[in-house]
Amino acid sequence: MSLSLFDLKGKVALITGATHGLGMAMAMGIGKAGATIVVNGASSQEKLDNAVKEYKSVGLNVFGYLFDVTNEEQVIENVAKIEKEVGPIDILVNNAGIIKRTPLEDMEVADFEQVIKVDLVSPFIVSKSIVKGMISRKHGKIINICSMMSELGRNSVGAYAAAKGGLKMLTQNMATEWAKHNIQVNGIGPGYFATSQTAPIRVDGHPFNDFIIGRTPAGKWGDPDDLQGATIFLSSKASDFVNGHVIYVDGGILATIGKPANEE
């Protein structure tokens, strides 16, 4: 096997919500594999500019575009700009997402709908805006960032789980419709990762930290860079006959029912 199967030189990849966290880690991996990366942000131009500087600091070829992935008009306009200014989009990573931790009986309908719109509807909007070009070129890679909540429920994240479960099925249906055009659509389901957002609960003795360490067969939180291998694989020629799957990068959580608290 040649490592050229994983070479992304000459490819253009759009990664939504890639100004920080897991999205940035995945975009870094794609960029280091040779692709030109286009990162999307929505919150502020300053945050997007700072992210672009961080990518450039490690020598990556990067462009940043500020737009709301839930706004179809903005998406269509910016996809056209990207393809004119950077080049045709070969790889799309639908990473942008939000979570609202509220018990379902207390959750406002507007909050539930916002989570569904960002986490489920926006991947449809962005994919639809890009896929026609992929169809005409007869190649493309789409990666939807799913979740372990695509498979499991957990207290207080009902809207998120509903969206991510729907995203798993949307991934399968996209694959069903677009595989004939040599377009591969797959998902990545991250487990629990050590990020700035999880830092306050990743301390010895914190109940949730102890729960994750005990629940994960690998016995640790994931490093964001652990997502790069799966992302590069699903972006590259190496995955040309892989379609409609979700790869769970979770340290083995979904493989086991867990263990008793007193078991080593």
CB contact set of 91 (below 8 Å; sequence gap of 6+): 8, 11, 12, 13, 14, 30, 35, 140, 141, 142, 143, 235
The series of mean pLDDT values per 10 residues for the chain, 264 residues long, is: 87 98 98 98 96 98 98 98 98 97 97 98 98 98 98 95 98 98 98 91 92 94 98 98 98 90 65
Q: What is the spatial distance between Cα 248 and Cα 256, in angstroms, rounded to a whole number?
A: 13
Respond yes or no: is residue 55 known to be catalytic.
no
Domain boundaries, the chain: 3-195+224-254
Amino acid letter for position 244: G
Q: What is the spatial distance between Cα 93 and Cα 248, in angstroms, rounded to a whole number?
A: 15
Tell me which residue has tokens 């045709």.
88
The domain made up of 3-195+224-254 has a fold known as Rossmann fold (3.40.50)
DSSP conformational letter for 221: P
Catalytic residue among 55, 160, 192, 248: 160
Q: What is the pLDDT of residues 193-228, one digit of tens each?
A: 999 888 989 998 999 999 999 999 999 999 999 999
Is the distance from CB of 229 to CB of 85 less than 8 angstroms? no
pTM, entire model: 0.96
Q: What is the pLDDT of residues 156-190, one digit of tens each?
A: 999 999 999 999 999 999 999 999 999 999 999 99
Extract the tokens encoding 169: 């099925």
pLDDT at 258: 83
Lay out the sheet containing 12-15: strands in order across. Answer: 62-66, 36-41, 12-15, 91-94, 140-145, 183-190, 246-249
pLDDT at 40: 98
Strands 36-41, 62-66: pairing kind? parallel
DSSP conformational letter for 28: H
Amino acid letter for position 83: E
- For residues 177, 180, 181, 186, the Cα torsion angle rounded to the nearest 10 degrees is 60
